[in-house]
Structure 1
């Protein structure tokens, strides 16, 4: 395990930069992580997905797949790819401070 610093706080991340303890994440960290991933501004639609990701992780122990996101988050798959162009489930999980969802490459 390694560490990363967001919002002046050191957090534990895995080799790919995903949080290993989602409890260390705070909302102010999300904007910094997003900018590092090429997303300059988090809109209300981004936040809708991020909050959904965290709720799914809390309930099921893993983040949802793109298919599940598109069907149950209120954001279509097409829009997910517009919001998170480098891969919605993986990118949103990283910004939301949860471990990489199962099934993501």
Structure 2
């Protein structure tokens, strides 16, 4: 599996680009991970979603699907797609340093 360096920390990503060890993620890595997904600035709404993704992963072992993410985070589905155009649950999981949510194909 490929090793990448973000904010001076080396991490192992799976073949789809998701962290294999979510505990190695730091907030300082998020802007670099976001840039790799074409997101140039992380707003307060981005951070709200990232924090929800991490909390749900730690509580349930997987990040939530898009509709659940909207409900839990308070960010409407339409806004999630604006924030994470390539797919809110997948991209937010990558930036949050967690594995791909079980609900994502």
Task: Give TM-score, length-normalised by structure 2.
Answer: 0.97
The answer on 1:49 being equivalent to 2:73 is: no
Q: Which residue of 1 aligns with 2:82?
A: 82
Shift of 1:73: 1.1
Q: What pairs up with 1:88-103 in 2 under 5 angstroms?
A: 88-103=88-103
Whole-angstrom distance in 1 between the partners of 2:63 and 2:101: 5
**Residue ranges of structure 2 left out of the alignment (5+ in a row):** none
Shift of 1:38: 0.3
C-alpha distance in 2 between matches for 1:21 and 1:74: 27
Q: Note the residue ranges of structure 1 that are not aligned, 5 or more in a row.
A: none
Q: How is 1:1-105 mapped onto 2 (pairs within 5 angstroms)?
A: 1-105=1-105
Root-mean-square deviation over aligned CA pairs: 0.7
Q: TM-score, normalised by structure 1?
A: 0.97
- SS of the residue aligned with 1:10? strand
Instruction: Describe the SS at the equivalent of 2:69.
Output: helix
Q: Distance in 2 between the 1:85 and 1:54 partners? A: 19
